Amino acid sequence: MDKKRVAEILEEMGTILDLQGANPFRSRAFHNGAIIVGGLADDLAELVRTKTLTDVDGIGKGLAQIIEDLVTTGKSEEYESLKRSIPPGLLEIMKIPGLGPKRIKLLYDRLGIESIEDLKSAAEQHRLSEVEGFGEKMEQNIIRRIERLKKSSDRQLLSTALEAAEGVVDHLKRLPTVRHCEIAGSLRRWKETIGDIDIVVSAAEKDRPGIMEAFVRLGESIVAQGDTKSSIVLATGINCDLRIVSEPEFPFAMNYFTGSKEHNVEMRSLARKKGWSLNEYGFSPVEEGSRKKAPVCKDESELYEFLGLRYIAPELRENMGEFDAAREDRLPNLIEEKDLQGTFHCHTDFSDGANTLEEMSEAVRKKGWKYWGVADHSRAAAYAGGMTMEKAKAQLKAIDALNEKLSDVRIFKGIECDIMADGSLDYQDRLLAQYEYVIASIHGKFNMTEEEATKRLIKALKNKYVTMLGHPTGRVLLSRDGYPVNMARVIQAAADYGKAIEINSHPHRLDLDWRLVRLAKEKGVPIAINPDAHNVDGLGDVRYGVGIARKGWLEKKDVVNAWSVKKLESFFQSRRSTART
Ligand code: DGT
Ligand code: CA
Ligand code: CA
Ligand code: ZN
């Protein structure tokens, strides 16, 4: 580990101590240590080797030990345990200018704010002004700074990028000179976060300057402008690249710019084995001066066919086994949004949702779905309007009554029940037994070691009444990593106990991660694509969940909410009779 990184870690340790409200002398030792190490003229590794670190002014025994651990092993137990001692989101908040550790600690102690997301919503709801030293003006400033910070961060949410890209594509498609126009890049592969937007257009050569002119006008600023390639920055702060190619080149350009890089490398190597070199414009003979006529491909599927492969869907193009599967004709028949017949994990105004049971049912009917599952918050999630047992019982009655009335939509009675710190559930079995299904989720006490978190989740899965796990890692994309947890063990436990896991489709979460979705599928764990909807519009978020499900190789049969009401009724019932308590 080099000097710069060691200095960063010492600085971070000092900040964590500040956030804890530790003795200021102690934290200052770390901040000073960071400055000293960062400015060392001598070779740090040499100082460690000769055990002369403590000779440096300002570096005591304790600090020297930490530095030695970092330099020799790349790790420090003291650093790791300090990191575990605070919610990871608190350090993120430090990135917002004007908020020091003292203030952040105050907000954490008083309002439980532990991430940038928390802070933003508290500022928007004017809850910060309740705390001394914070006023309305400060709230406005904080919101603005958070927005700026998000714009400048190098990646964006899939949902933000998709919306922006679709706007650009709509615009370009309206130009009569544009033949084809499609989104490529990580967005077409449905990655959970996006670096920049890539769009490919086919058009006649003479029309290209005009198209580029129209394109760059869509940007807040122009990064580069040419006849075949331009790059702009859109209002959301995201970059957007446009390539224009000829009609015959279009499938090749789409394939190349969809990526991933790793997928492309393998494509090119397969082509080479057949004597062709492959690039974004087409095939050309490897042998110089060869008169071999390059194959023409009218679409991507012909391109794959030429290489002896079945068509590989963009979501799978990560070079993670898709080539073998395509060769051996065992690619999955990927789930599509139209396969969904309903969804679970929906909130109503019984907890922190905005709409009533009736309004949600109507929205579900309009979507053409057959059913939906209510899952409001349980008591422990007090900040989210968690229901008292009385309120929960009243809701159960209300659902029964509404189900009597509704003819074309079936409401499943569910609950999003908090998993307590020890892995037990927030509600007693007697109440849980009255639900048709139970989503178990963690909403508090994120401060755990990996072992603690893993055991906590496994214990919850083992509960007889639990049907599925909600947002399993608690991550918030671009803002907070999930708690450390051994998901392989958790997925194995779900398989052992016959439980399902959700893909939380909220664009900030997309949790279960698609890499783990594949593991769950291999283990035979059914997946629910859940919107975590807090209003009728939120139901639409299943779109992102479907993308992640496809990226995780899921088929219709793997997805709980592609099943019929009948199959679900027996699935929910059988979970209880087979599960151990
Ligand atoms: P991003 O933008 O970071 O979310 O990810 P991508 O995959 O959209 O990457 P980007 O925008 O840099 O490039 C788009 C595609 O172009 C990428 O997926 C594959 C292709 N590509 C770009 N650079 C290279 C390269 O150096 N080698 C190969 N084989 N392909 C490349
Ligand atoms: Ca990109
Ligand atoms: Ca790009
Ligand atoms: Zn939740």
Nearest ligand for residue 231 CA: 3
Residue owning the nearest CA to atom 21 of ligand 1: 261
Residues 76 and 186 in one domain: no
**Rounded distance, CA 191 to CA 259, Å?**
11
Burial class (CB in 10 A: 0-12, 13-18, 19+), 389: middle
Q: Are residues 541 and 407 in the same domain?
A: yes
What ligand is nearest to the CA atom of residue 443? 4
Where b means 16+ CB within 10 Å and e means fewer, 78-102 reads ebeebbbebbbbbbbbbebeebebe
Ligand nearest to the CA of residue 165, numbered in listed order: 2
Q: Does residue 198 sit in the same domain as residue 134? A: no
Within a domain: residue 299?
Answer: no
What's the whole-model pTM score?
0.78
Q: How far is CA 123 from CA 96, 385, 475, in A?
A: 13, 19, 21
Taking the CA of residue 155 as reference, the ligand 1 atom at the shortest distance is 4
CA distances from 72 to 11, 81, 265, 294, 376 (A): 19, 18, 36, 55, 50
Q: Tell me the best of 187, 193, 261 to mutate to test the pocket of ligand 1, counting ligand atoms within 8 Å of each CB and taking the most.
A: 261
**Which of 159, 198, 262, 281 maximizes ligand 1 atoms within 8 Å of its Cβ, making it the mutation to test the pocket?**
198
Q: At which of 99, 116, 151 does a domain end?
A: 151
Number of the ligand 1 atom closest to the C-alpha atom of 265:
29
Residue 208 sits in the same domain as residue 123: no
Q: Is 265 within the bounds of a domain?
A: no
Beta bridge partners of 221: 233
Both tokens of residue 60?
């005591």
Q: Are 95 and 149 in contact (CB under 8 A)?
A: yes
Question: The domain that contains 421 carries what CATH number?
Answer: 3.20.20.140
Strands 193-194 and 156-157: antiparallel
- Ligand 1 pocket test, candidate residues 238, 264, 280, most atoms within 8 A of CB: 264
**From the centroid of its chain, how far is CA 488?**
18
Structural domain contains residue 69: yes
- Within a domain: 470: yes
- Mutation to probe ligand 1, out of 183, 186, 258, 477 (largest number of atoms < 8 A from CB): 186
Q: Which of 213, 247, 281 corresponds to the end of one domain?
A: 247
For the chain, the C-alpha Rg in angstroms (whole number) is 27
* Ligand with smallest separation from the Cα of 533: 4
Under DSSP, the state recorded for 329 is: T
- If asked whether residues 108 and 183 sit together in one domain, one would say no
Residue 399 within any structural domain of the chain: yes
Distance from Cα 243 to the centre of ligand 3, integer Å: 10
Residues 170 and 228 in one domain: yes
468 found inside a domain: yes
pLDDT number for residue 152:
58
- Which CATH number does the domain housing residue 79 bear? 1.10.150.110
| Number of other residues whose CB lies within 10 A of the CB of residue 2 | 11
Q: Which ligand is nearest to the CA of 197?
A: 2
Confidence at residue 575, expressed as pLDDT on a 0 to 100 scale: 85
99 and 237 assigned to the same domain: no
Q: Who lines ligand 1 at CB under 6 A?
A: 185-186, 191, 194-196, 198, 256-257, 259-261, 264-265
Q: Whose CA is nearest to atom 19 of ligand 1?
A: 259
Task: Write down the pLDDT at residue 581.
Answer: 47
Q: Which residues surround ligand 3, an ion (CB under 5 A)?
A: 196, 198, 241
Domain count, the chain: 3
Strands 229-233 and 239-245 come out as antiparallel
Ranges of the chain with pLDDT below 50: 580-581
d(CA 9, CA 220): 37
Residues 364 and 399 in one domain: yes
Query: 186: CA distance to ligand 4 center in Å?
Result: 27
Residue 397 included in any domain: yes
Q: What is the pLDDT of residues 517-551, one digit of tens each?
A: 999 999 999 999 999 999 999 999 999 999 999 99
Q: Give yes or no: residues 122 and 93 share one domain.
A: yes
Residue at which a domain ends, from 119, 151, 183? 151
Q: How far is CA 282 from CA 96, 205, 298, in A?
A: 47, 17, 11
Is the same domain home to 388 and 489? yes
CATH number at residue 219: 3.30.460.10
- Within a domain: 268: no
Same domain assignment for residues 168 and 117: no
The tokens for 88 are: 């990871």
Cα gap 274→286, rounded to integer Å? 9
Nearest CA to ligand 1 atom 30: 261
Residue 65: domain span: 3-151
One domain, residues 91 and 178: no
